């Protein structure tokens, strides 16, 4: 299931209505930081598991 342009526009409009235009950049920044932290954590776990198998 993929989201096309019309669905993305509707989601963006709902987010703007719920949070307001002033909060959306802060929300996006927080989501980006959380995503980076999650990727960093999964990469570290994968490297630790790989190192444990090699040892």
Alpha carbons 29 and 37: distance in angstroms, whole number: 12
The pLDDT value recorded for residue 11 is 92
**Chain segment 7-54, per-residue pLDDT in tens:** 999 998 998 999 888 888 898 899 999 999 999 999 999 898 898 888
Strands (E), the chain: none
Give the pLDDT confidence score for residue 43 in this predicted structure: 93
pLDDT at 36: 96
Using a 10 angstrom Cβ sphere, with 0-12 exposed, 13-18 middle and 19 or more buried, the burial of residue 50 is exposed
Count H helices, E strands: the chain?
2, 0
The pTM (predicted TM-score) of the whole model is 0.59
């Amino acid at each position: 299931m993929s989201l096309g342009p019309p669905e993305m526009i509707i989601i963006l409009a709902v987010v703007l209505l719920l949070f307001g235009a002033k909060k959306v950049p802060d929300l996006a920044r927080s989501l980006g930081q959380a995503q980076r932290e999650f990727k960093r954590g999964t990469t570290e776990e994968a490297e630790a598991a790989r190192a444990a198998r090699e040892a």
